[in-house]
Structure 1
Amino acid sequence: MSNVFGAVVQQGYVVPDIDAAMKHWTARGIGPFFMEHLKNFDGVVDGKPVKLELKAAFAYSGDQQIEVIQPMGDTPCIYEEYLRTHPEGGLQHLAVWCEGTIAEKLEELKRKGMDFIVRQNYGDAHAYIDSVDQPGVMIQLMAKGEMIEKMFAIIKDGSESWDGKTDPVRRIDWSTGTPVVKAA
């Protein structure tokens, strides 16, 4: 556990082919994966507002969440940048929950003298930070909230009851404003 950020709750892998990545993990007994396809998703990359398109899928292995992300389109973002330097894909970030808000955590890190930059964020819900002195695997700060906690609970419950074969990929639909699982 990090004495700065707390427990790591998610490993985030950026991949060139999300279907192949999910097959990789399910062949190892990790799943099922819950996938979402986000289009025109509001984000900020290096301080500039963007509309992103990406596919992201989530599964659990015990208490550790595995996320695989495939950037779509050509909008510059940290995922697309990662694949340019690691075309085979790999571990791009580790995620932690924030106690309080993202802004409060960023202020706390500054007070502690950490030298970091915010590379990408999604409103007040997620911020990806990288060390200035030791860049590499980023830290994703995640704000707790009803919808993300509900989604993570659905994914966790799915992993605990999965038989290792049935419906290895399921779709998350946000069209109702809350996560709903549908057949892939």
Structure 2
Amino acid sequence: MSAIGPIRQLGYVTQDVEAAAMHWINKGIAGPFFLMKGAVFGEWNSEGKTASATLDIAFGQSGDVMIELITPRDGALDLYRSELLKTRICNPHHLGYLVKDLEAVGQSLDTEKRVVRATLDSKNYFEYYDTRPLFGQFTEIIQDCPENQQFIDFAKKAASEWDGKTEPLREASSLG
């Protein structure tokens, strides 16, 4: 698994992305968080069935690792259901890796089951693999494209310049 690179993202499922983000912020672990409420994934292919999915998502940085908080709204509930039923503020869901060649890395995970391939837009692809038997959570591989790198760089810069108090929750539209 180390051949695909360092872990770039820790994903958590929560019932409320804003409350979960404030938990991370108040503990001084990550922030600020950028909110994408009602993010629609037009292509959500889950185990051979294509649909759309709507999620509330918050992203914040903790050093070089992005923290992703997810609340499924519709269409993606199966992938998140077991974690959503837990009562913790944040429930571990996935390890995320930024990769240049999504197909090649996906093939290297051939002992695992791909459970989702999705797009947010025409350039932003990601896939989830069921690696729970190995790591206790899913593995997400994310297309390394200029748009995703720009998003990561912006979030890292925001975190490094943040005073820990001003605008702890920000709309993702402020990403520029």
Deviation readout 1:29-86 (Å, 9 max, x if unpaired): 22100111234422111221121111111111111111111111365331234313x3
Q: Name the count of aligned residue pairs.
A: 169
Q: Which of the two has higher C-alpha Rg?
A: 1
Deviation readout 1:87-118 (Å, 9 max, x if unpaired): 43411000012132x112122333xxxx2111
- Stretches of structure 1 lacking an aligned partner (at least 5 in a row): 174-179
User: How far is the alpha carbon of 1:134 from its aligned partner?
Assistant: 4.2
Which of 92, 103, 119 is 2:115 aligned to? Answer: 119
User: How far is the alpha carbon of 1:131 from its aligned partner?
Assistant: 3.2
Deviation readout 1:12-33 (Å, 9 max, x if unpaired): 0110111210111000222100
| Root mean square deviation, CA, Å | 2.2
The one-letter code sitting in structure 2 at the alignment partner of 1:11 is: L
Deviation readout 1:119-150 (Å, 9 max, x if unpaired): 11214710010138547301100110111111
The one-letter code sitting in structure 1 at the alignment partner of 2:142 is: M
Match of 2:69 in 1: 68
Q: Are 2:40 and 2:55, in contact at CA under 8 Å, matched by a contact in 1?
A: no
Q: Which moved more, 1:141-150 or 1:41-50?
A: 41-50
Q: Which moved more, 1:128-137 or 1:15-24?
A: 128-137
Structure 2 residue 36 is matched with structure 1 residue 36:
yes
Counterpart CA distance in 2 for 1:73 and 1:132 is 23
Identity %: 26
| 3-state SS, counterpart of residue 69 of structure 2 | strand
Structure number with the higher helix fraction is 2
- Stretches of structure 2 lacking an aligned partner (at least 5 in a row): none
Alignment of 1:54-65 (within 5 A): 54-65=55-66
TM-score, scaled to structure 1: 0.82
The one-letter code sitting in structure 2 at the alignment partner of 1:10 is: Q
The one-letter code sitting in structure 2 at the alignment partner of 1:181 is: L
Counterpart CA distance in 1 for 2:149 and 2:4 is 19
Match of 1:177 in 2: none
Using a 3 Å threshold, how does the CA distance of structure 1 residues 51 and 87 change in structure 2: closer, same or farther? farther
Counterpart CA distance in 2 for 1:55 and 1:132 is 23
